């Protein structure tokens, strides 16, 4: 089966010059009984690029990674690494380093032996592999922990050893399966930056699975949002946030408020103003519609006769997110914190749209 991959989307700005291998997921389908985990999933990743697979639980992101790693076989479709079909190649022959969600260090080996394990399998001499393992542990900041066993290391340290172990075999592709999800917030942020720095330094093609959008947006060259086994949108974090291609992406990535709208041709009337509809007009459903609006797409001004009432405030630093009750629902608006002083709870306000265009979708069914 021949599929078309949008090559214009295959490379993010500033990447594509790495030494890692290009990876192509081509029309992959993987079913588990009646459940379709991957549904004609296609994605091209450039050499040296870090792509995050992002989506809710059960969207197929982990299955996609496991198919790439060789732990699952696709029912349909194929995986190309460096232009070669590896769909039937066993996991141990794919030369892909992987860091797992749960701590995966071998408990019977110390940190250095864990890192050197893959090199030993490649018949490297003892001195060489110990030197290389020590270098890699130094790279991840664990030079003082080489002789420690996994149970003597913290969670963050174990994941760094696991990263060093994955890098030791000089993999063609680095696979990260939610490696930070078991760590506390501070360690997670530190390790996130460290992984990204090492990945950029080594220019290794990396696929990173996460359900944490902040993690995906801050680390990845491109983010691939998945839902129900298929690709919703793949793009740079900035484009994904500012121009979500589908209502799912608009809702899943970042914060959005839903506001009922009335369609007039290629525009919708939203909060009293006509705004162009974003994207393919032919894909806009008929019937009742709602606009998805980011907090920065809205403005709020105090007005004793306004229709909105401030019902919530969250201080975010330079900005304050204000919740405004409007016709039975609440919209969230970001305002500069000094200006938010006037917007105490119960204040009547006017809400207006500042966006150039808006994404529209059908109303969410009420449960």
Partner 1 sequence: MASLELGQVLADPSEIDQPYEADAPLKKHRFQFRWGRGTILVLAAAYFILPFYAGMEYSLQHPTGGFSLTPISQIASAPGFASALWLSTQLAVITMAVVMVLMVPTVIYVHLRLPRFRRVMEVITILPIIIPPIAYSVGVLESAPQWLRNSQYLLAVVYVILAMPYVYRSLDSGLGALDLKTLVEASRSLGSSWLMTIWRVLVPNLRAALMSASVLTLALVFGEFTIANVDNWQTVPVWIYLAPTDNPRINTLVAMIALLATALVLILIVSLDRSQSRNSRRS
Residues that bind partner 1 (CB under 8 A): 69-71, 90-98, 100, 102-108, 117-118, 121-122, 145, 148, 150-155, 157, 162, 165-166, 169, 175
Tell the smallest beta-carbon distance from residue 207 to partner 1 (Å). 13
Query: Would you say 350 and 303 are in contact if contact means Cβ atoms under 8 Å apart?
Result: yes
Helices 126-139 and 111-121, interaxial angle, to 10°? 130
Nearer to partner 1, 38 or 168 (CB): 168
Tell the smallest beta-carbon distance from residue 155 to partner 1 (Å). 7
Which residues lie closer than 8 Å to 168 by C-beta, 6 or more apart? Answer: 97, 115, 116, 118, 119, 132, 133, 136
Nearer to partner 1, 194 or 352 (CB): 194
Residue 361, CB-side half-sphere exposure with 13 Å CA sphere? 18
Tell the smallest beta-carbon distance from residue 131 to partner 1 (Å). 18
Query: Would you say 112 and 146 are in contact if contact means Cβ atoms under 8 Å apart?
Result: yes
Tell the smallest beta-carbon distance from residue 107 to partner 1 (Å). 5
Nearer to partner 1, 55 or 171 (CB): 171
Assigned token pair, 132: 């290389």
Nearer to partner 1, 37 or 217 (CB): 37
Tell the smallest beta-carbon distance from residue 315 to partner 1 (Å). 25
Nearer to partner 1, 100 or 241 (CB): 100
Tell the smallest beta-carbon distance from residue 75 to partner 1 (Å). 18
Tell the smallest beta-carbon distance from residue 189 to partner 1 (Å). 16
Phi/psi at 156 (nearest 5 deg)? -65, -40
Residues facing residue 14 across a β-bridge: none
Tell the smallest beta-carbon distance from residue 174 to partner 1 (Å). 11
Nearer to partner 1, 94 or 278 (CB): 94
Distance, CA of 112 to CA of 147 (rounded, Å): 6
Q: How many CB atoms lie within 10 A of CB 69?
A: 18
Smallest Cα–Cα separation from 49: which of 207, 256, 236, 192?
A: 207
Nearer to partner 1, 117 or 241 (CB): 117
Which letter, b or e, does each residue of 97-136 get, where b requires 16 or more Cβ atoms within 10 Å of its Cβ?
A: bbbbbebbbeeebbbbbbbbbbbeeeebeeeebbebbbeb
Nearer to partner 1, 40 or 148 (CB): 148
């Amino acid at each position: 089966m021949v599929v078309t991959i949008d090559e214009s989307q295959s490379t993010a700005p500033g990447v594509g010059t790495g030494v890692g291998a290009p990876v192509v997921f081509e029309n992959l389908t993987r079913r588990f009984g009646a459940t379709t985990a991957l549904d004609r999933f296609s994605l091209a990743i450039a050499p040296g690029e870090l792509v995050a697979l992002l989506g809710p639980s059960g969207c197929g992101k982990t299955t996609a990674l496991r198919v790439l790693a060789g732990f699952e076989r696709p029912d349909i479709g194929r995986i190309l690494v460096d232009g070669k079909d590896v769909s039937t190649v066993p996991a141990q022959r794919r030369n892909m380093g992987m860091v797992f969600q749960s701590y995966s260090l071998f408990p019977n080996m110390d940190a250095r032996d864990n890192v050197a394990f893959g090199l030993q399998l490649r018949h490297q001499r003892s001195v060489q592999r110990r030197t290389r393992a020590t270098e890699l542990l130094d790279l991840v900041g664990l030079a003082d922990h080489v002789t420690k066993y996994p149970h003597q290391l913290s969670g963050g340290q174990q994941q760094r050893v696991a990263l060093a172990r994955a890098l030791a075999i000089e993999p063609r592709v680095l696979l990260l399966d939610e490696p930070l999800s078991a760590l506390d917030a501070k360690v997670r942020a530190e390790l996130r930056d460290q992984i990204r720095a090492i990945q950029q330094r080594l220019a290794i093609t990396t696929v990173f699975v996460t359900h944490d959008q902040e993690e995906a947006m801050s680390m990845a060259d491109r983010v691939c949002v998945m839902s129900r086994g298929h690709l919703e949108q793949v793009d740079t974090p900035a484009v994904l946030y500012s121009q979500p291609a589908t209502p799912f992406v608009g809702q899943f990535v970042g914060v959005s408020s839903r506001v009922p709208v009335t369609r007039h041709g290629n525009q919708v009337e939203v909060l009293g103003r006509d705004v162009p509809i974003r994207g393919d007009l032919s894909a806009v459903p008929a019937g009742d519609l709602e606009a998805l609006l980011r907090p920065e797409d809205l403005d709020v001004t105090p007005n004793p006769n306004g229709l909105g009432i401030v019902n919530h405030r969250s201080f975010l630093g330079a900005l304050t997110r204000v919740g405004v009750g409007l016709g039975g629902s609440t919209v969230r608006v970001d305002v500069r914190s000094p200006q938010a002083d006037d917007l105490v709870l119960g204040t009547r306000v006017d809400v207006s749209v500042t966006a150039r265009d808006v994404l529209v979708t059908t109303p969410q069914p009420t449960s």
